[in-house]
Amino acid sequence: MELPLTPLEFARRTRKLYPEREAVVDGDLRLTYAEFFERCDRWSMALRSLGVKQGDRVAYIAPNTHAMLESFYAVPQIGAVLVPLNYRLIADDFAYLINHSGARVVCAHSDYLDAVESIRTQLPNVTSFVALEGTKTGWLDYETLLKDVDNAFEPAAIDETDLLTINYTSGTTSKPKGVMITHRNAYINVVGTLIHHPMTIADRYLWTLPMFHANGWTFVWTVTAAGGKHICLRKVEPVAVFEKIKQESVTMFCAAPTVLISIANGPEELRREVRRGVRIVTAGAPPAAATIERMEGELGWEITHAYGLTETSPFITICESRPEYAELSCAERSVIKACQGVELLTSGELRVVDEEGREVPHDGCSMGEIVVRGNAVMKGYYNDPEATSRVIRDGWFHTGDAAVVHESGYVEIRDRLKDVIISGGENISSVEVEGVLLRHPAVQEVAIVGLPHERWGEAPHAFVVLRSGAQASEDELQEFARNKLAHFKAPHGVTFLSELPKTATGKVQKYVLRGGAAIAKQ
């Protein structure tokens, strides 16, 4: 008898093999795998008692807590669909996403009870509101429901093509789209991740990446599959990260490049004493070689760069290490590690194609769009066939990422297609210019965007955050870039900011910068 490919299979195995091993740490709470899965089973039964049936949607608004982690097992094992929402949105956004997904139950952390309560009358299809922590009149209490339920749990029959989660995109230029991830999609990503980035029962994983974002890059299931330990971190700040790494002997975490930059610029005394050998997976945006060099050279951590999108479950490439790279200097290795790399064994086929759909030469210069097909690609956008047909054409998912392919076969993203700057007929990669400016000793963060220019149509403009206590002038940074780039690529202007606008997952919101919001705040 064939068994469906589902990440719940990893839970079954770990439940059997490692019941007494510590599974979850959340502040003072520590749970073994036996205790964790019992809580998941109890919540599954509680959801059924609330009327949740197979195929129903259950929305969550919560930071990285044990209750949030429990949702990734308790909801799908009754055949329901989890809808993990970006908790940094506003109440009106929550109303749209909850209604669009058709969620019957909304579960919220105490920090978001008031926001949901303020839109409660706008949610006619929601039958139950559950407070994961804290209390509010008219809300059910999570822990009380767990305690009172009869735990005679039997899992639902699940097909691998059933929906597992609906993950909403950021929706920077339009309404957010609900990415439909199947059990098979997630299973494939977990297996691929463990092949290329192995984990063991000795690993202690720190939750710096929001669990809601592409299902924590599927590490909500990957860590469990390995029998490792989940260490919850509710708010990601450099001091808290360093403290948890020391307290819990953390061996691994995931983070977007902007989060790595903030950690690398954390308190010097903590950086000096930090545990070395921590393994990091970075994705979400192309990391600069300078960032990788700092993390590996100064902190002694090991960076693995992966690439993907919410729509691809998420990973489709990984920057594989090769034996010959060991002979290179840290700086030289960092340049290679900044590439997106090669296909995961499980993710399917990836190509970089020109506007006519022809594969570009592997010369490191010819730029095209990354397109992919295979088991990692989403089922589609929820209740949005038109948007689905725009990105999945002739069986290929079009990522919107502009890239080149090197002779080695390594893919390197040069930009989002919409972020490529066309100045006087020349294409300029914002990622390339950012990578250069990040090597200036005074620069902590930088974003390059195209702004209107009378002569060239548009020209690169730099938005820069300086390191604490550092100084640099506009002329100095422009001259620094000109000395390392073709002059037309150097920024025509520099705006200094205290911080860059970012999404909840650390991606820089370049559309905000283009709109002049940052300049208006000066």
Q: Are residues 319 and 452 in the same domain?
A: no
What local confidence, expressed as pLDDT, does residue 406 receive? 96
Q: What is the CATH number of the domain that holds 56?
A: 3.40.50.12780
Q: What's the pLDDT score for residue 110? A: 98
CA 453, chain centre distance (Å): 34
Q: How confident is the model at residue 416 (pLDDT cuts 50, 70, 90)?
A: confident
User: What stretch of H or E contains 147?
Assistant: helix 142-148
Q: Do residues 62 and 109 make contact, with C-beta atoms less than 8 angstroms apart?
A: yes
246 and 265 within one domain: yes
**Pair (377, 394) in one structural domain:** yes
What confidence score (pLDDT) does residue 148 get?
A: 94
Say whether pLDDT at 522 is over 70.
no
DSSP string, 218-284: THHHHHHHHT-EEEE-SS--HHHHHHHHHHTT--EEEE-HHHHHHHHTS-HHHHHHPPS--EEEE-S
In terms of pTM, does the model score above 0.85?
yes
Q: What is the mean pLDDT of residues 299-317?
A: 96
Contact at 8 Å (CB) between 226 and 194? Answer: yes
Nearest by Cα to 107 from 23, 171, 25, 46: 46
Three-state DSSP at 86 gives coil
How high is the pLDDT of residue 245?
A: 96
- How many C-beta atoms surround the C-beta of residue 345 within 10 A? 12
The least confident of 21-30, 143-152, 195-204, 207-216 is 143-152
Which pLDDT tens digit goes with each residue over 196-210? 999 999 999 999 999
By DSSP bridging, strand 105-108 and strand 128-131 are parallel
Residue 330, domain member (yes or no): yes
DSSP 359: B
Q: Once rounded to an integer, what is the mean pLDDT over residues 323-344?
A: 92
Question: Which among 387, 347, 336, 335 is positioned nearest to 371, based on CA atoms?
Answer: 347
Other CB atoms within a 10 A radius of the CB of residue 468 amount to 7
187 occurs within a structural domain:
no
Omega of the bond leading into 314 within 30 degrees of 0 (cis): yes
Q: Where are the beta strands (DSSP E) in 333-442?
A: 342-343, 349-353, 368-373, 380-381, 392-393, 396-405, 411-416, 421-423, 426-428
Q: What burial letters (b/e) apply to 225-255, b meaning 16+ CB within 10 Å?
A: bbbbbbbbbeebebeebbebbeebebbbbbb
SS3 label, residue 165: strand
pLDDT score at 173 = 53
Confidence of residue 39 (pLDDT cuts 50, 70, 90): very high
Q: 214: part of which helix (H) or strand (E)?
A: helix 214-217
- Residue range 55-68: average pLDDT? 98
User: Considering the domain boundaries, does residue 19 fall inside one?
Assistant: no
Does 146 lie in the same domain as 45? yes
Measured CA distances, 339 to 404, 414, 429 (Å): 10, 10, 14
SS3 500: coil
pLDDT of residue 516: 65
Q: Find the helix packing angle between 8-17 and 219-226, rounded to 10°.
A: 30
Domain span including residue 296? 236-416
Q: What pLDDT is attached to residue 515?
A: 81
Shared-domain flag, residues 470 and 366 = no
The answer to whether residue 246 is domain-embedded is yes
Tokens 């929550």 correspond to: 94
- As a whole number of Å, the end-to-end CA separation of the chain is 65
Identify whether 400 is part of a domain.
Answer: yes
218 found inside a domain: no
Same domain, 268 and 401: yes
- The per-residue pLDDT for 518 is 41
Residues 51 and 129 in one domain: yes
- 297 pLDDT higher than 80: yes
Chosen domain end from 159, 182, 205: 182
Same domain for 247 and 259, yes or no, is yes
Place of tokens 């009378």: 454
Type of residue numbered 33: Y
Q: Who wins on pLDDT, 138 or 519?
A: 138
- How large is the angle between the packed helices 219-226 and 183-196, nearest 10 degrees? 60
For residue 315, tell me if it sits in a domain.
Answer: yes
For position 517, what pLDDT does the model report?
A: 41
- Do 365 and 457 sit in the same domain of this protein? no
Q: What is the pLDDT of residues 352-380, one digit of tens each?
A: 999 999 999 999 999 999 999 999 999 99
Q: Are residues 269 and 370 in the same domain?
A: yes
As given in the structure block, the two tokens for residue 438 are: 């990040």
Total length of the chain: 522
Same domain for 448 and 472: yes
pLDDT tens column, 469-509 = 999 999 999 999 999 998 889 999 999 999 999 876 678 88
Q: What percent of the chain has pLDDT over 90?
A: 80
Does 210 map to a domain? no
Q: Looking at the structure, do residues 340 and 432 belong to the same domain, yes or no? A: no
How many structural domains is the chain composed of? 3
Given 416, 441, 473, the domain boundary residue is 416
Mean pLDDT score of the chain = 93
pLDDT per residue as tens digits for the range 168-177: 987 555 688 9
CA angle in degrees (0–180, nearest 5) for 514-459-292: 75
H or E element at residue 48? helix 33-49
* Domain boundary, last residue among 401, 416, 431: 416
Residue 121 DSSP symbol: G
